[in-house]
Amino acid sequence: MSADAAASLATAVSELGHNQLRHARRGKIGVRVVSRAGTKGLEVIAADAGEGIENVEAISSGHEPSAASLGIGLSGVLGLADEVDFDVRLGEGTCVWARKFVAPVAHARRIAITGRPIDGEARSGDDAAFIRFDDGAILLALADGLGHGVEASVAARAAIDCVLAHPNMGLEALLEECHFALAKTRGAVMAIAHIAPDGALDVSMAGNAVARTVGRKANVDRRYAGPSFALGTPGRAPRLRTEHDAVSVHEMLVVHSDGISTRLAASAEHFTVPHVVAVRRLLDAFSDRRDDALIAIVR
């Protein structure tokens, strides 16, 4: 890695560390080697159990409080790293992935997840995770445990853990594997999507989780569906299917739980602000406190 690239990554790590010291608790930072289509790089993962990033609009403006840092904050991390992904759970914690490669790599889609529990609960019954493959493909999964609270959270986490343990399975087989894995839980509905480097999209779903492809223009809104069934509930899973589509560079995949209104509508502004800001604006605009709510975008 060049001296300039290494310096940029070191600055980003410093900002992530200072952010944890100022705003979080039980913060951890890890580093690992990654690759993208044969080009190696380093990935820094900063995770904490704080309250989540409350003022994401500051990331968009670049005017974050930074008295104890180098003065650039999370907005600067977006510019210093080649790829940055966010997972922000309000009241539960934050995880940021920042990557720097030894040479330029093809533009990668950015991932942002955010959610909050229903009022009165400390933990959300919604969960999500993603995997980035070395060739640039992305696997995204969202699970909504039945009900609310700890038991719903356990079911959703079991579904996500199953996906993370079997990332190379076909989507339908993976949903069936999750169905068996959730047998001793209260069950969950789920959506799993795979985006290839060329934008080819596969989506498979069970229950009322929502997956959509939306564009800068309002007339782009393609919705995907699956059988009405909760994974883990008694009986065999109904016949599952995979829908095939494509996501262009002017579109984004949106996956969310039923705590987000189906009236959700993306606009041009959701493509011009940082992805972590866009996903939070969608959460705030199309959810209330009467249900767990979680939304993920791949843009």
Predicted confidence at residue 72, as pLDDT, reads 67
Instruction: Tell me the Ramachandran region of residue 209: left when phi exceeds 0, alpha when psi lies from -120 to 50, beta otherwise.
Output: beta
Predicted confidence at residue 225, as pLDDT, reads 94
Residue type, 41: G
What percent of the chain has a predicted confidence (pLDDT) above 90?
Answer: 84
Predicted confidence at residue 294, as pLDDT, reads 98
Predicted confidence at residue 161, as pLDDT, reads 98
Q: Which two tokens stand for residue 215?
A: 């564009």
- pLDDT over 80 (residue 133): yes
Instruction: Tell me the Ramachandran region of residue 155: left when phi exceeds 0, alpha when psi lies from -120 to 50, beta otherwise.
Output: alpha
3-class DSSP assignment, residue 130: strand
pLDDT digit string, tens, across residues 152-187: 999 999 999 999 999 999 999 999 999 999 999 999
> Who contacts 263 (Cβ-Cβ below 8 Å, separation ≥6)?
286
- 16 phi and psi angles, rounded to 5 deg: -65, -40
Residue type, 14: S
For the chain, domain boundaries? 1-104, 109-299
Between CA 88 and CA 51 the distance in angstroms is 9
- 212 phi and psi angles, rounded to 5 deg: -145, 150
Predicted confidence at residue 218, as pLDDT, reads 77
- pLDDT over 90 (residue 258): yes
- pLDDT over 70 (residue 70): no
Q: Which fold would CATH assign to domain 109-299?
A: Phosphatase 2c; domain 1 (3.60.40)
Predicted confidence at residue 69, as pLDDT, reads 45
Between CA 184 and CA 69 the distance in angstroms is 47
- 292 phi and psi angles, rounded to 5 deg: -60, 145
Predicted confidence at residue 107, as pLDDT, reads 76
Contact 35, 50 (CB under 8 A): no
Q: Which two tokens stand for residue 146?
A: 């039945």
Residue type, 164: L
67 pLDDT band, cuts 50/70/90, is very low
Predicted confidence at residue 95, as pLDDT, reads 97
Between CA 168 and CA 135 the distance in angstroms is 13
Could you give the strand order of the β-sheet that contains 126-132, starting from the edge strand earlier in sequence?
A: 126-132, 138-145, 188-195, 200-206, 242-246
3-class DSSP assignment, residue 125: coil
Between CA 137 and CA 167 the distance in angstroms is 11
Between CA 241 and CA 230 the distance in angstroms is 15
Q: Which two tokens stand for residue 59?
A: 């990331």
Predicted confidence at residue 236, as pLDDT, reads 82
Predicted confidence at residue 108, as pLDDT, reads 83
Could you give the strand order of the β-sheet that contains 293-298, starting from the edge strand earlier in sequence?
A: 28-36, 39-48, 93-101, 83-89, 111-116, 293-298, 251-256, 210-215, 221-224
Domain 1-104 has CATH 3.30.56.10: no
pLDDT digit string, tens, across residues 90-132: 999 999 999 999 999 987 899 999 999 999 999 999 999 999 9
Rounded to the nearest integer, the mean pLDDT of the chain is: 93
Handedness of CA 179, 206, 192, 297 (dihedral sign): negative
68 pLDDT band, cuts 50/70/90, is very low
Asked whether this chain's domains 1-104 and 109-299 adopt the same fold, the reply is no
Predicted confidence at residue 80, as pLDDT, reads 94
Predicted confidence at residue 33, as pLDDT, reads 97
Instruction: Tell me the Ramachandran region of residue 147: left when phi exceeds 0, alpha when psi lies from -120 to 50, beta otherwise.
Output: left
Between CA 53 and CA 24 the distance in angstroms is 9
Between CA 213 and CA 287 the distance in angstroms is 19
